[in-house]
Amino acid sequence: MTHGRKKPRQPRTLRNPIEHALFGATKLMECEIKSTLAPALECETRLREGVATDDQHTVLYTILLVAQGIEDSRIVRGLREQIASALQAMDAIRARATASGAWCPTALYSYELAAIREALRLHEFQLQQVSAGELHAIATKLIARTASTGGEVQRRTHQSLGLAAA
């Protein structure tokens, strides 16, 4: 028993401070950007074809929320309207697809498809501007916000989503 005394705080040590600094400061490489966007592009294709599952819709919606998080962090600014338009389109698609109570794929209107494609194109531009550390911090914040508001956080693989392997 410590009788009210706390143990002194131990200093936090990093395994490799140079790697930690580089992770926080380096921009994503082109192959990392492509692999980050690959699931979103595949989900957009499935949505466009009218065969998307609920999980595929959720993946695409989450990626658009990450794009909104980058905008909110003020790293890349001026894209709020385009991202909001894509999120509204995704909300409308979900409302139509779940109108019967269960997920049933639905066709997209041309303006919804255009808004989603434009947002994904702009998100690729965002990813070219952010560092790996900034992207990690934004994703971590989004996960924490989802969990704290009672949302469900899941990790999905390409196979569990029915997508081609990366």
Q: Dihedrals φ, ψ of 159, to 5°?
A: -65, -40
| % the chain with pLDDT above 90 | 62
Structure token pair of residue 62: 């989450």
- The label of the residue with tokens 């999120």 reads 87
Helix (H, G, I), strand (E, B) or coil at 144: helix
At 131, phi and psi to the nearest 5?
-90, 165
Q: Is the dihedral of CA 27, 39, 34, 19 positive or negative?
A: positive
Q: How far is CA 21 from CA 71, 138, 151, 157, in A?
A: 23, 17, 32, 29
pTM of structure: 0.82
Residue with tokens 């989450």: 62
Which residue in 125, 97, 92 sits closest to 111, CA to CA? 92
Per mean pLDDT, which range of 10-14, 25-29, 105-109 is the poorest? 10-14
Closest to 114 measured CA to CA, from 122, 124, 105, 126:
122
* CA-derived radius of gyration, the chain: 19
Tell me: the pLDDT tens digits for 81-131?
A: 999 999 999 999 999 999 999 999 999 999 999 999 999 999 999 999 999
The residues near 16 (Cβ < 8 Å, ≥ 6 apart) are: none
pLDDT-based confidence at 161, cuts 50/70/90?
low
Predicted local confidence at residue 154, as pLDDT: 73
Strands (DSSP E) found in 51-161: none
